[in-house]
A and B are shown apart, each in its own frame.
Chain A
Amino acid sequence: MSAAPTGLNEVLGRTFPFPKRHFLSVLDLNEVEVAGLLDLADGFVSLNRQTSKKLDLLKGRTLMNLFFENSTRTQSSFELAGKRLGADVVNMSPRSSSISKGETLIDTAVTLNAMQPDLLVVRHASSGAASLLSQKVTCSVINAGDGQHEHPTQALLDALSMRRAFGYLAGLKVAICGDVLHSRVARSNVGMLQMLGAHVRLVGPPTLMPAQADRWGVEVFHHMREGIAGCDVVMMLRLQLERMDGVMAPSQREYFRYYGLDREKLARAAPHVRVMHPGPMNRGVEIDSDVADDLSVSLIQDQVEMGVAARMAVLAALAARLEEA
């Protein structure tokens, strides 16, 4: 590290001690905290684009990635975020290691907690798992996806991507399309976008829509052309292929015909529409490659970049709280 990255001091000035110990759900956040995190993340985006990316905000801190479900993308995003902030990062995949043999989630947590990590990033297939863990450990827990419940850092990075693309969030019309029922990304995004004043629509077949979703303060559509009409953002969700073979939808080709995003359907949206997807994409199933790869429309690559910055912001804010404690 030769010269300090330009703009560093400005970014450092934006860090703030996060008022909570854990980062589990967007419902735990308020508008001020989210705005603070977005400003901070914005700063990290510019720093990440410089040659010297390494900071020492988390120097001496240990970040542990605990992924009970595989996810190359989210795990490396957190790993990179931790390393760029100067933390020591350890990746644990209990599924492939011996610590999970017959051990309950809480046993695993207690074992890892004894290794004195400062930040524990958790992904688990069960809703509420991150919250359960947070009750049993002394470090900060970050929810990197719990079952069908929440994925709050994804919502943060999505908000960041949208804010950078449009310059504002309040009043944006956002359609979240596809398998809303099983999607933690959708739940976190609904909560966060509503807090920030966006108008949210949920679009998908009735079999993939949560019960009483209309009571979330969103508009629910079962036909995509109507659902995305006039929208500023179309956010596509991943649909697991095994759910499509006559289970939740009759077939891949029928699903694509009615709920896949192609040019023809996209033409119904606002002229300046931007398309998002949390990845990994099923090309030709929920989204046409032609749309996904058009950089004038697609924010999908930006989302990945914003992911690292948004996670750096969360880690930095949680660590600032640790400093104060």
Chain B
Amino acid sequence: MPARPLAFVNTRLVDPASGYDGPGAVLVADGVVAEVAKGSGLGALSPDVEVVDAAGAALLPGLVDIRVKTGEPGAEPKETLKSAGLAAARGGVTSIVVQPDTHPVADDPAVVDFILRRARGIQLVHVYAAGAATKGTEGERMAEIGLMREAGCVYVTDADRPIANSKVFQRVLSYAKAFGVPVAHRPADPWLSKGAAATTGEFAARLGLPGVPAIAEKIMLERDLALAEATGASLIVDQITTAAALESFRRARDKGLPVVATTSINHLSFNEIDIGDYRTFCKLDPPLRHEDDRQAVIEAVAAGLIPIVVSAHAPAPAEDKRLPYDEAVPGAVGLETLLPALLAFHHEGRIALVDLIRAVTTAPAELLGLPAGRIVQGGPADLVLCDLDAPIVIDADKLVSKSKNSPFDGRRLQGKVLRTLVEGRTVYAV
């Protein structure tokens, strides 16, 4: 569809790649950013340009979320690529990386190819695929990392399942390195984590919930960092959520290891007390932590030690959540709430806006080499127009995601997405 050129004027332009946060305007034509005006206005516009007066609303690069689960293939009632795409568009997320733990598991090039082809047919947001690191994500035999890379996978991971066997993980790291494929790994000691529904501590003990000690994260992370150092592979630490693990990670970064960490918006926004009277929407993997841990993780994001924030979007239908706490499935949807939840730290004055936005745009895009996450002339016109100050109340029932398991249900936030563009196409508008 050859859309008319589009000019966003009178915006607060936020472009983390250049560190710019100030007044600006952007001209979009033929799916790309044709002109960026920082501070000044655009030049003379031809009469066929559709002009959008943003009235001071923020114009951001479309968000890049590198940890998203859908139910496709295999569990479509939970979420399809299309429903996830709609949710992403509504949340201002224009690129997603889907996780390989589907049915069947994306552990060979055919499944990766299937997902990417399905997504292309939907034409909503950009969909990238992560492949499994081991066959069936069982942690025993390496998956076809090279062939999956050729099919388009951007990194490999066993998603929620840690690879317990150190020899297997060492091989995955060194093999993936040769093919230039980053490896993401969840740091969690599987034996300490077994059967756990919450983080060990006073609160879980009072509720009588089986717990995993917070150090389970540090224990596995220490191993992963040692193996990353030994192999020189590019390791993505899939969600640091505890202060203890941050210590280890900081040491590795100080040594200059090529390791990058993410954390989830949930662990930035909630602590274990939010579980309250067994609220299963707050049952997550990793489980919610102590408040000291949450504060440490926020500080790490503010300081850039954790450069990437993910939604950890994990749809689960009511029948998997409306169960006694230890039987309920962990996980929360997050695509539609990622941006407003993140903006809370801007409104609190805790983290500068441009740094917050970098963690969900430029940083993840650069890590994986995706053509996204910046507003630059000639770059793809993946953009979000957002009223940063508009108050909203999250209503889980009104999410467009097929599953409604949001711990943000009922939460009051600020930040309303007004319009989302993917390669110049409007995929969402209020």
Contacts and interface: CB of A to CB of B under 8 A. Distances in A.
A105 interface: yes
B207 interface: yes
Nearest to A127: B208
B334 interface: no
A211 B211 contact: yes
A40 B133 CA distance: 64
Interface stretch (A31-39, A143-151, A250-258): A143-151
B25 to A, nearest CB: 52
Interface string B351-379: 00000000000000000000000000000
Contacts of B326: 126-127, 147
A146 B325 CA distance: 11
Contact of A132 (B209, B211, B324): B324
B324 A211 contact: no
B205 A106 contact: no
Nearest to A180: B205
Interface string B203-247: 011111111010000000000000000000000000000000000
A105 B202 contact: no
B277 A128 contact: yes
B205 A149 contact: no
A240 B319 CA distance: 32
B324 A187 contact: no
Where chain A touches its partner, the secondary structure class is mixed
B244 to A, nearest CB: 15
Contacts of B213: 211
Contacts of A132: 278, 322-324
Contact of B323 (A105, A148, A150): A105
B278 A131 contact: yes
Contacts of B278: 127-128, 131-132
Contacts of A105: 323-324
A210 interface: yes
Interface in B323-338: 323-327
Contacts of A146: 208, 324
Contact of A126 (B201, B202, B327): B327
A229 B225 CA distance: 49
B83 interface: no
Given A124-B324, A128-B324, A211 B277 contact: no
Interface in A136-191: 146-150, 184, 187
B390 to A, nearest CB: 33
Contacts of A211: 200-202, 204-205, 211, 213
Contacts of A212: 201-202, 205
Contacts of A127: 207-209, 278, 324-326
B202 A129 contact: no
A149 B207 contact: yes
A104 B208 contact: no
A129 B328 CA distance: 11
Contacts of A49: none
A97 B207 CA distance: 29
Given A127-B278, A132-B324, A150 B208 contact: yes
A216 B203 CA distance: 10
Given A128-B277, A132-B323, A211-B201, 9 more contacts: A124-B324, A127-B324, A132-B278, A132-B324, A147-B324, A211-B205, A212-B202, A212-B205, A216-B202
Q: Which 4 pairs between the two chains have the least Cβ-Cβ distance?
A: A126-B324, A128-B278, A148-B208, A149-B208
29 contacts: A105-B323, A106-B322, A126-B324, A126-B326, A126-B327, A127-B207, A127-B208, A127-B324, A127-B325, A128-B278, A128-B324, A128-B325, A129-B324, A131-B277, A131-B278, A132-B278, A132-B323, A147-B208, A147-B324, A147-B326, A148-B210, A149-B207, A150-B208, A184-B208, A187-B206, A211-B202, A211-B211, A213-B205, A216-B202
Interface of B: 200-202, 204-211, 213, 277-278, 319, 322-327
Interface of A: 104-106, 124, 126-129, 131-132, 146-150, 184, 187, 210-213, 215-216
